[in-house]
Amino acid sequence: MNPNGIAAPGRTHPDLGCSTISFRHRPLPEALRAIAGLGVEGIDLGGLPGVCDHIPTPLGAAAPEVLAAVADSGLRTWAINVDAGAMNDPRLDEAALRATAGPLVDLAARLDAALMVPCGAQHRDPFVDEATDLDRLARGLRLLGDLAAARGVRVLVEGLHHFRFCHTRRRCEALLERVPADSAGFVLDVSHVVAGGIDEIAFARDVAERVEHVHLRDARPGEINLSLGRGRADFAGVIGALRGSGRTPRYVLELETHDVAEADREAEAARAVALIDPALA
């Protein structure tokens, strides 16, 4: 039994992990205990303003507390999921991006984790125009890639997000064309793809060569916050498409769902593990 009285599964597939965003309303040590009870070994560590503050924004002097909590959990951090700023915003100049990104790169390096960032501002409209904003965002990602590489850190971009600047397949593909693979890998979030009315299997197949990390949450067109099995996402199909293309990314449950009571989150996460783990076997 885990600390919440739920029967813990055996060790899961080594490529299946869980984001602390799944337990975003709980203090970090408590969220980590819940994840450890699932039988997974890897985590994404959430630090997105307005979503999850397990990594505070700004990081400030909190890094030692974050590092200690992760070390105590025995879990391995695969990525820190943070926002270094809206890189398509003309007001975020290179000096400001370096100042914000520096502590985050340092934290990722100390955790031996990737640095995961979103695809622009938390709105769909460009600051200038689509092409200019895409160029600015790509420059920011290339700069971030250089800063991170100097510390041995891999940058990953969640390049399609239903509520951010790159919310369409067209913008996502245009961004990837501007950002070389050695600067940033791609995070495929199935829920954002489905919410945008995009065929998730075809999309996974088409972007497979860039995919290094996959977020798993269910969705339907226009809605991203559903538990696995309660939307229309074909997770087995996505996994099959990526495997068919020769890709072996990590798969992370990011259960920032709105259809589950807080007291039921451990049980719901365990159910999600039971759904996905066999598909990875």
Q: Quick one: what percent of the chain has pLDDT higher than 90? A: 94
pLDDT of 137-186, one tens digit each?
Answer: 999 999 999 999 999 999 999 999 999 999 999 999 999 999 999 999 99
HSE on the CB side for 203, CA within 13 Å? Answer: 26
Q: What is the pLDDT of residue 12?
A: 87
The Cα-based distances of 34 to 45, 50, 124, 227, 260 in angstroms read 13, 22, 34, 17, 15
Q: What is the pLDDT of residue 6?
A: 41
Q: Quick one: what percent of the chain has pLDDT higher than 70? A: 96
Domains identified in the chain and CATH numbers: 16-280 (3.20.20.150)
**How would residue 9 be classed by pLDDT, with cut points 50, 70 and 90?**
low
Report the interhelical angle of 130-149 vs 94-111 (nearest 10°).
40
For range 107-125, the mean pLDDT: 98
Contacts of 65-73 with C-beta under 8 Å, sequence gap 24+, read: 65/28, 66/28, 66/107, 67/107, 67/110, 67/111, 69/28, 69/29, 69/32, 70/32, 70/43, 70/45, 70/111, 72/29, 72/32, 73/29, 73/32, 73/33, 73/35, 73/36
Report the interhelical angle of 130-149 vs 169-178 (nearest 10°).
50
**pTM of this structure:** 0.95
Tokens of 175: 């961004």
**How would residue 3 be classed by pLDDT, with cut points 50, 70 and 90?**
very low
- Overall size of the chain counted in residues: 281
Peptide bond into 27 cis (omega under 30): no
For range 102-125, the mean pLDDT: 97
Round to whole Å and give the CA distance between 33 and 185: 29
Tokens of 120: 């622009």
pLDDT of 55-79, one tens digit each?
Answer: 999 998 999 999 999 999 999 999 9
Round to whole Å and give the CA distance between 194 and 208: 16
